[in-house]
Each structure stands twice: as C-alpha cells, then as structure tokens.
Amino acid sequence: MTATRFQLDPFTAEVIKEGLKAVGEEMFIAMARTSMSPIIYEVLDYATGLTDADANLLTQGNGVAGFIGVLTYSVTSVLDKFGREGLAPGDIVMTNDPYSGGGTHLSDVCLVMPIFHRGELVAFAANKAHWTEVGGMAPGSWTTDSTEVFQEGLQFPCIKAFVNDEPLPQLVDLIRANVRTPDMSIGDFYAQAASLRLAGKRIGEMCDKYGSEAIKEAMAWLLEDGEKRARAALAKLPKGTFIAEDVIDDDGISDEPIPVKVSVTITDDEFIVDFSEMPPQVAGPINSSRTGTNSGLRCVWTAIANPQAPVNEGIFAPLRLVVPDGTIITAQRPAPTSTYWETLLYSLDLVWKALAPVVPERLSAGHYNTVGASITTTHHVDSDIFKILVEPNMGGWGACSDRDGESGLFCSMNGETFNLPVEVTEQAYGLRVDEYAFNPEPGGEGRFRGGRGVVRSYEILSDRGGAVTITLGRHKNPCWGVDGGHKGGRNYTQVVKADGHAGEPTGKTARLPLAKGDVLRIVCGAGGGWGDPAERPREKVLADLRAGLISPRAAKEVYGVET
C-alpha cells in the first residue's frame, strides 16, 4: 500500500474512522435484534462489515472469529461478477458459494450491498449469517456423510436478491419452498437486508455531513493505519521457518487418518504460510475452500500480530498464503464442504502449533479444536412442532506459558459466540438438559494445565423421538501440549439409552435416531498442558481436586500428589 497524503485534519479523520466502526457495530446489533433464529440472536453465528469500493475491509463486527476477513472475499466475488457498472443503488447480492465468495459452507449465506452516494459507489456493506436451514439431504443442511455440494442445500451463486430495494419475489418463493424452516430462513434473509440498509443509511449520512471525499480519505487512512500496526507487529516476531504437522481423524466417509502439515516463514516483510504439502480434497464434507482458509489465517494472524487492533484490510497486508488448488483446504467444486470448519480449524491450529513455542506470550498450547457442532432434531414435547436445534459446543483451551488454560470456551474460530442457555434450549426446543458441567476426564495435565472441557446432555422427551448429527474433530487425535505438558482430552458423543445402556463413543454421526428417554451426551475434552506436570505446585493440584476438576487418581498418578 502506498502512503497517502491526507488532506483531513486528524481529529475529523479519527471521528470518521470511529464512525465507520460504529456502523459495523450497529449493523451487528440490528441483525441480532431482527433475526428469527436462536443461532443468530443467541449464539451470534454471523458477521457484519464494511469495505471500501475496492473490497478492502474497513471494519467487521464478529460473532464468529472464523469469519474474520471473509467478507472481503464476498465483496470481491460481487465485483468480479457484476463489476462496478453492473451494480446500482438498491441492489443486494447474495452468495453462499463455498468455492468463491461464500467461502465456508452453504449454511452461511452472505448478503452484500453496494452503497452509493450521489451516484458514486463509495462502499459495500456485507452480512454473513448461518441460516438454520438451507435445504439439502439432512435437516439443518450440514451433515457428516455428504459427498457432493448438491446434497448440502440450496446454492446461491452470487445473484441479485434485491433490485431497486425490492426482493426478487421468485427468489423468496424459491427459498420458502426449498428450506425446512422457511419462516426462520426468510426472517434471517430480511434481517440481513435490514442491517445492510442501516449501514447504507449511516454511510449516506456521513457522506452528507463530511463529503464523500473526506469519507474516502478516512477509509484510506484507516487501512494505512492498519498496515502500520501490522508491520510493527511483524517486526517484533522471530524470523525464520517454523513447521508443524498433525493428523485429522478422518473424513467421515472412510476411517483413513489424514496427515496435514504447514511451514510458516516469517521475514521482515511477509508472514508466509505454506500449505503446499496439504493432502488432496477428500470424499467427505470436511473440505475447506481457499476463501475459508484465508479467513482462518486472518484469524490466527490477528491473534499472533495484534489481537487488540481493529480488524481491517491493512492489518492483513503482510499475510501470504501459498497452496495449490484442489487440496483439502482449497477444495474445488463439487467437493462437499458442509463441515468445513473441522479442517479450517486445523489450518489455523497448525500455524498456532508451529509458532506457540516461539511466541509464548501470545499463543497457548493446543485447544479442543472443534466447533462441536450438533444438529438435534425432535418434536417439541409441548407443541409437537418439529424443531431443529443447531449449536456449537464448548471445550477446554490450552495452558499458556504462565497460566492454566480457560475452561468451557468456544473454539478459536467461534470467537465471541455464546452458548445456548439451558432455559432457552428447554423452552424453545422441548427437550430436557440433563447435565451441563465440566468434564473431569484425564488430559491436559502440565505445570500449567489445559482448561476443562464440557459435558452437555439432552434427554429426548417427545414420543416421536428425534435424531442427531454431530461432528467432533480430535476424537482420535487429542490436542497438543507444549514443553512436556500432556495432550488434551478426546472429544466424543454417545447415546445413553433409557435402560442405562451407554453406546459406543464416537466423533461423527449422521441422523442417528433417538428414542424418547434416550440421553445424548456431547463431551468435549480438555486443552493441552504446558510444562512438566511434576512441576505443578502441590497446592494448585489440591485446589483442582477440591474443585472437582481432576480425579484423585490423576492427582496421584500424573502429578504425584497423594491425598
């Protein structure tokens, strides 16, 4: 980015910059307040943001950290398809194409609106949100056993959903017919559009007040400022090449383990992430796309470089991704991608693993590394209405060089999302939450121990039973420790039948039938430990014991503390 000669006085520029950020935040809040889906308004599984007229990200409000920077690519795909000349005031473009601007899976639907001021394109507003349903072979749309994108729901290939501020009636009818929960999905569609229009209104007001030239200049200032911060952060990082390897459990279709590898090279100018040795795309839905991989890297880069800095395109200037097309993280059409996050998390985690030993002040040991996403379907016990409960599940984060890991937190790419409160779950979905507790199973021991995973159990109450689809990565390959710290715990799910018989723990299920009285247990493991457990002070081991976070046996066998 070349240095810009700014005409604005720094006070006005600062006011405008903060104003732009406020627009991003206001869009975020408007979305939560108008959405019809608990996964949006409770879990915050969406992101909103602004870019300049060239798709440079200016500001982004996130629920999901994995969406950081992904909006850039959505806007880029809109410009690629329509060009500036092909866009007009009142247009809203829609995409969920995983291989281009959508970048994740079909459930994440992104709406992009060009913002004009006096006929000139000045910015784009974008909103990407997880729709509970987009159709496909499985209720809730994502599943662990799809083998083509056609099975994963309706694809919106970067199309104009609104023209002249009017929704295309055919499209609304089409969505209504093709999704299993039309009121929710259409409601979210309109909520997204409303948040974009709000941004358009605010940007318009700012342009009226300061003039569009001032706004554009403040945007450039914002980006340049971001890049300055990124360069400063890069200067502080150790230089060299750092390598990490790991294994993905399987693709859900076969049991084959999938080895993965990264080589990170940090120079004075660039942060180069080389995934050239990644394996080819697989048959099952864990494939990630280039766009998804890019946003995963943006997420981990933000954590490494400057977690406090506001997110914009400038921050990402030093970042360079090297990877051929057709790998498991750059899958090509029609590869299934509906549980892409399992692999996106690995690309993020690999960079983390490569750098944790050399950037210990910023990076912890490995965390449970799965969204823990589940789709539980049942009929509400009171109303007998069909319900689809889609939610992420929490687990343990890794220990740091100077403290224990966080217990019961969402995974790295989920970021600021929330768990679904027990009360909301029971009231909205008509099942019973039998247990919501820390998981004291072994794993993550160390001088500093990994945070505790979580157990969440649902009892099915409907006479008509239900079904569950769930994907828990790191079921076979627990997360990594550092410097002699132990590996974390395993993630798994199991069904305990009404007669008390507990089923085999597993990492992936697809539409597993549940009967009335069955208890579904979703169990996430502890994060990795840091340092030799023998070095952990006795009083901290005893405190863990008292808090029920470890067993007496672990205290004795791993920490050497008799009680």
Residue listed under structure tokens 């549940």? 514
Report yes or no: 408 and 367 within 8 Å, Cβ to Cβ: no
Strands 159-163 and 120-130 come out as: unpaired
Q: Is 553 exposed, middle or buried (0-12, 13-18, 19+ CB in 10 A)?
A: exposed
Q: Name the residue among 362, 369, 370, 353 with its Cα closest to residue 485.
A: 353
- Residues of this chain, 320-349, that bind another protein according to CB under 8 A: 334
Closest separation in Å from C-beta 426 to another protein = 26
384 binds another protein (CB under 8 A): no
Tell me whether residue 97 or residue 108 sits nearer to another protein (CB atom). 97
Closest separation in Å from C-beta 174 to another protein = 6
Residue listed under structure tokens 């490569």? 354
137 binds another protein (CB under 8 A): yes
How many residues bind another protein (CB under 8 A)? The answer is 29
Compute how many other C-beta atoms are within 10 angstroms of the C-beta atom of residue 235: 9
159 binds another protein (CB under 8 A): yes
Q: Using CB under 8 A, which of the segments 167-175, 321-329, 373-381, 417-425 binds another protein?
A: 167-175
DSSP character for 115?
A: E
61 binds another protein (CB under 8 A): no
Which of 154, 234, 258, 495 contacts another protein by CB under 8 A?
154
Upper half-sphere CA count for residue 523 (Cβ side, 13 Å): 22
Which of 33, 176, 546, 556 contacts another protein by CB under 8 A?
176
Which of 83, 119, 169, 307 contacts another protein by CB under 8 A?
169
180 binds another protein (CB under 8 A): yes
Element (H, E) at 120: strand 120-130
Please report, to the nearest 10 degrees, the dihedral formed by the alpha carbons of residues 408, 411, 412, 413 taken in order: -140
Alpha carbon distance 51, 277 (integer Å): 33
Alpha carbon distance 110, 105 (integer Å): 11
Q: Using CB under 8 A, which of the segments 156-164, 243-251, 262-270, 358-366 binds another protein?
A: 156-164
Closest separation in Å from C-beta 259 to another protein = 27
Please name the residue ranges forming H helices in 382-492: 422-429
Q: Name the residue among 326, 340, 261, 259 with its Cα closest to residue 295.
A: 340
- Identity at 160, one-letter amino acid code: K
Strands 57-62 and 46-52 come out as: antiparallel
Q: Using CB under 8 A, which of the segments 70-78, 124-132, 155-163, 523-531 binds another protein?
A: 155-163
Which of 25, 80, 120, 148 contacts another protein by CB under 8 A?
148
Burial 58-85, CB ≥16 within 10 A → b, else e: bbbbbbbbbbbbbbbbbbbbbbebbeee
Which of 13, 50, 179, 365 contacts another protein by CB under 8 A?
179
- Distance separating the N- and C-terminal Cα atoms of the chain: 62
Tell me whether residue 52 or residue 133 sits nearer to another protein (CB atom). 133
178 binds another protein (CB under 8 A): yes
173 binds another protein (CB under 8 A): yes
CA distances (Å), 364 to each of 244, 383, 386, 539, in order? 15, 46, 42, 23
Tell me whether residue 135 or residue 284 sits nearer to another protein (CB atom). 135
Which of 37, 155, 312, 378 contacts another protein by CB under 8 A?
155
Mask: binding to another protein, 263-282, rule CB under 8 A, as x and -? --------------------
Which of 142, 156, 448, 492 contacts another protein by CB under 8 A?
156
Q: Using CB under 8 A, which of the segments 157-165, 271-279, 299-307, 458-466 binds another protein?
A: 157-165
88 binds another protein (CB under 8 A): no
512 binds another protein (CB under 8 A): no
Closest separation in Å from C-beta 155 to another protein = 4
Closest separation in Å from C-beta 488 to another protein = 36
Closest separation in Å from C-beta 135 to another protein = 5
Tokens encoding 293: 């991989």
Closest separation in Å from C-beta 177 to another protein = 4
131 binds another protein (CB under 8 A): no
Residues in the chain: 563
Q: Using CB under 8 A, which of the segments 178-186, 258-266, 432-440, 483-491 binds another protein?
A: 178-186
Sign of CA dihedral 427, 429, 435, 439: negative
Tokens encoding 266: 């940090």
Please name the residue ranges forming H helices in 57-148: 70-82
465 binds another protein (CB under 8 A): no
Q: Where do contacts with another protein occur on this chain (CB under 8 A)? A: 97, 135-137, 139, 146, 148, 150-151, 154-161, 168-171, 173-174, 176-180, 334
